[in-house]
Amino acid sequence: MDQLQLDGMPRRLFVCTPSKLSTFADCPQRYRMTYLDRPALPKGPPWAHNSLGTSVHGALRAWWDEPLARRTPTRAAHLLRLGWMTDGWRDPDQSVRWRERAAEMVGRYVATLDPAREPKAVERQVAARTERLALSGRVDRLDDRDGELVVVDYKTGRRPLTDDDARASQALALYALAVSRTLRRPCWRVELHHVPTGDVAVAEHDEASLGRQLSRAEALADDIERAGERLRAGVGPDQAFPPQPGPLCSWCDYRRHCPQGRAAAPDRHPWEAVAGDEAE
């Protein structure tokens, strides 16, 4: 059954991605500004950490597209330089320094991979329908290891990752579910690959753990729809979608439109999330 019945009428599925759900969980007000406000609110400045992450993801995707003989660490570093994004850096010199750090990082990471072991898919779009959700998302890499499907998600942040991070990640669990539905094969293992260190955080799911994550996702969908109903009924935006201010407000795209966020956390330069520990 694809839809629940409510008062004799079919209930519309909630269309979402893991990112959309996590945005509401982190801050309902940011969700409203991202997905509901019309016209769309102007965003703040581009962030260097987003440029770093996008550049690394692009290089790793392009590396797997190379012929086998060219899948070398040197080629990965070159691809990083070719696709480097300069948005958000303080000046060209800082951008070049971080480009070279990222090139070294990517080269070191691919040196741990077997270039002949083709992934099942790279940047694969997957989707699933449940009784409540129409879920979709893009998997960074999908491996087939001796018949076992494995979801691989690249991370470029400074914080080290643990198996608990992989186990608690709702996004990874929903990707595993969507992979299973899309490819009609079970997918239980999910991994976070921390590209700066090469560390791999692993979780092995089962029916019960995926079911718990799905239930949480469906509960979030209910909360989002109730908040939308309150907004349409005339409840104020800040009451229907209340802000959840905290330290991460420094990095919010909609900071300029949120007095609560500005009061909760200081202004940051666009490059500080990656370069804040530099004495420059």
Alpha carbon 79 to chain centroid, angstroms? 22
Angle separating helix axes 73-82 and 92-110, nearest 10 degrees: 150
pTM of the predicted model, to two decimals? 0.92
Say if CB 142 and CB 151 are below 8 A apart.
yes
How far is the C-alpha of 75 from the C-alpha of 106, rounded, in Å? Answer: 10
237 contacts 28 by C-beta, under 8 angstroms: no
Quick one: which H or E segment has residue 7? none
**For each of the chain's 280 residues, which pLDDT tens digit applies?**
334 444 455 678 999 999 999 999 999 999 999 999 988 889 999 999 999 999 999 999 999 999 999 999 999 999 999 999 999 999 999 999 999 999 999 999 999 999 999 999 999 999 999 999 999 999 999 999 999 999 999 999 999 999 999 999 999 999 999 999 999 999 999 999 999 999 999 999 999 999 999 999 999 999 999 999 999 999 999 999 999 999 999 999 999 999 999 999 999 999 999 975 443 4
Domains of the chain by range and CATH? 48-110 (no CATH), 121-214 (3.90.320.10)
